[in-house]
Amino acid sequence: MMRVKRDWIIPPIRVSENSRYVPEDLVQIKSDKIFSGEVIYKLEGPGVDQEPKNLFEIDDKTGVIRSKRPLDREQYSSFTLKAFALSPSGERLENPTTIEIVVLDQNDNKPVFTQKQFFGSVSEFSVPGTLVMSVLATDADDPMTENAALGFSIVGQDSIPPNAVNKTMFGINNQTGAIYTRDVGLDREVVKEFKLKLRVADMWGDGLHSDAVAIISVSDINNHAPQFRPASYSIKALENSYNIEIGRVSVTDRDDPGTGNWEAKYTISNDPYGNFAIQTDPVTNQGIMTVVKPLDYEVKREHNLILTVENVNPLSSKAPNLPLSSAAVLVTVVNENEAPYFKENPIQIEVPENEEPGKLLKSNIASDPDHSELRYDL
C-alpha cells in the first residue's frame, strides 16, 4: 500500500480482479492542511455509495482506502472515486481528491463460439484454398491482453457416409476463423457432408478453450452427363391414334436427383414430318414418347428414330468431354382394321330406258383403306 499527501496527483491504483486477499489496503491519503483538531476522511462514488455499492471503503481516521470484495473486470473495468478531508463539524478542509482504480484482467473467461453449430457449403471438386465459411468467437477478458487473443483450430473431421475420406479436407485460419479447402478430391457422389470439430482457445490458442461444430455440405456440380440404358428400343404404335403414350426410354445420371444437373432433356431426330414427341417424367427421369400426328400403316410401316439426351443445366467444365448419348428407337406401326367407305353417297346412276338386263351400270363404287376384298349387299 502506498501513502500519498493530499496535494499530490494520485496515479491510478491497479487492482487485480478476483483477488483472494480481501479486504485489501489499496492506498492511504493524508491531508497537509494545518489543523489542530481531528481530520475525518470520507469516500464517495461508484463502488462506495453508488452502484455497485460496498466494493470500497475508507478508514475515516487514517485515510486508508481498501477493497471489501473481489472485483470482476468483466463487470466493471475501472472506478472513479472522490476522497474528502473534513473537520468534525463536517467542514471541508480542502478540495476533494480524485481516486482512479483500474481493475487488472485475469484469464478467468474462456472464449466461446457465437454459435454451437455453423453451417456452410462448398462445391464438389473445389480447388485447395477455396473459402468455405468463417466462424466467430468472443472472449470477455481484456481485449488488449493475451487473455482475449484467440486462436482457432480444427480438431476432428467426420464424413457422411462415415470413413469415406481419409484425408484432411479442410483447414482454418488460426487468427480469423476462416475455413477453406485444403486438399483435392471433394466428390459429392462419395461424400455428401462433413462435420468438423472446431476449437477456439485464448492465449493465441494455448489457453482456455471451448468447442463447436461446423457442418459443411458438398454441393453438386453437373459433372455427369446422362447416358441411355439401354441404347436401343423397339416400340409399337397403333395407326390413326395420337396424343397417347407409346413407350418410354431410360437414362442414368449420377448427379443429384431432382436437380437440373440430373434432369434429362430429350431430342428426336429423323422424324421429318414431326409425328413424334418426347417429354421427361419428373420423377423417374424417363423419356415419355408420344405420337402427335397420326401414323398411317398403308403409307409407312416403320419409323427409325434417333434420340439424344442432355441435362437441363449445362455440363461443368470438369465433366468428361464426350458426345451426347444417343439411342435408336424402332417404331412399328400396327395396322388398324379401317372400315370401307363408298366413294359417293348417294350413288348416282343414269340408266337409258329399254336397257337390256345384265348391263354393267357402275363399278368401283367403294374403297377399303386396308385394301381388303369387299362384299356388297342391297
Neighbouring C-alpha atoms within 13 Å toward the C-beta of 236: 4
pLDDT score, position 6: 47
Lowest mean pLDDT among 87-91, 156-160, 275-279, 307-311: 87-91
pLDDT score, position 128: 96
pLDDT score, position 169: 96
Q: What is the pTM of this model?
A: 0.67
pLDDT score, position 21: 84
374 pLDDT above the threshold of 70:
no
pLDDT average, residue stretch 279-292: 97
Lowest mean pLDDT among 82-91, 128-137, 146-155: 82-91
pLDDT score, position 298: 87
pLDDT score, position 360: 65
Residue 256 and residue 254: Cα distance in Å, rounded? Answer: 7
Residue with cell 471451448: 210
State the first-to-last Cα distance of the chain, in angstroms, to the nearest integer.
Answer: 139
